[in-house]
Amino acid sequence: MSIIELLASISLLVLSIFFYLTKNTKSRASSKSDPNLPKSYPLIGSSVAIFANRKRLIQWTSDLIRNSPSATVVLHRFLDDSRVVTGDPANVQHMLKTQFQNYEKGSKSRRALFDFLGNGIFNIDGDSWKFQRQLSSHEFSTRSLRKFVETVVDTELSQRLIPILSAAAANNAVLDFQDILQRFAFDNICKIAFGYDPAYLLPDLPVAEFAKTFDEAAKISSGRLNSVFPHLWKIKSFLNIGSEKRLKEALLRQTIGN
């Protein structure tokens, strides 16, 4: 390569970076004018703020929405990967009902959640989703299944949840209500969907291996989408290290357990 060609290549690279940064700066002008939004930088966006709040992401984004006049914020991540977070009921209705067909999960989400959800109804789009929805809606519309669900939930409620709450009230004990409701929901889902009772909601609040591995797999899978660096999980998965190694182990334990 001649010196002229090298200089031309470098010039094109510099110009490309310049236009990219200019575009990002303009797109973030509204973010900078709003003091309630996290500071956004070229290339990395608001990754610093996202990383700082990674352990309280739901609370943090809820605060951002609450302080936003439109109840909607745009978070820019690494390399201009943007996320729109909204708490506006009209927006939610537009996306989940009125124009649902226009808001697919997309390939990024499907790839990130595939190891955990596979090609199930919660991780597909288009005709495949419609087909599975028709099957599931037909099943859940049958009287026998509705009666079965009612019986399962009523049993879990009367024989497990209420006695635990009553005992805590009588003894003036403190309960982690989120944990209690998670156990209640997990027992119901397993009994209804799999015909298996993990007995997760008992007075001694046992550690159920299946529930533990399920929860870990769910957290790591969702963490792929919430990571500051969107493609980092692929590298970790290829090298079989860190959270990706734990995910594979958790999924393997679930498979063996089933």
| Cα pseudo-dihedral 173, 174, 177, 181, rounded to 10 | -30
By residue range, what is the domain housing residue 224? Answer: 133-257
The pTM for the full model equals 0.71
Number of structural domains (the chain) is: 2
Whether residues 81 and 11 fall in one domain: yes
Task: Output the pLDDT for position 10.
Answer: 62
Task: Output the pLDDT for position 11.
Answer: 59
Does a structural domain hold residue 163? yes
Whether residues 248 and 139 fall in one domain: yes
CA 227 from chain centre, in angstroms, equals 11
Whether residues 167 and 61 fall in one domain: no
Q: Which residue, 65, 87, 103, sits at the end of a domain? A: 103
Whether residues 99 and 168 fall in one domain: no
Task: Output the pLDDT for position 252.
Answer: 84
Whether residues 156 and 250 fall in one domain: yes
Whether residues 146 and 252 fall in one domain: yes
Low-confidence ranges of the chain (pLDDT < 50): 25-31
**Residues 80-114 pLDDT 10s:** 678 899 999 999 999 988 998 888 888 888 999 99
Whether residues 92 and 144 fall in one domain: no
Does a structural domain hold residue 196? yes
**Alpha carbon of 48 to those of 45, 92, 123, 235, 247: distances in Å?**
8, 28, 29, 21, 26
**Residues 114-134 pLDDT 10s:** 998 898 888 888 888 888 888
Alpha-carbon span 105 to 172, nearest angstrom? 45
Task: Output the pLDDT for position 153.
Answer: 95
Task: Output the pLDDT for position 193.
Answer: 82
Q: Which residue, 103, 121, 142, sits at the end of a domain? A: 103
Does a structural domain hold residue 124? no
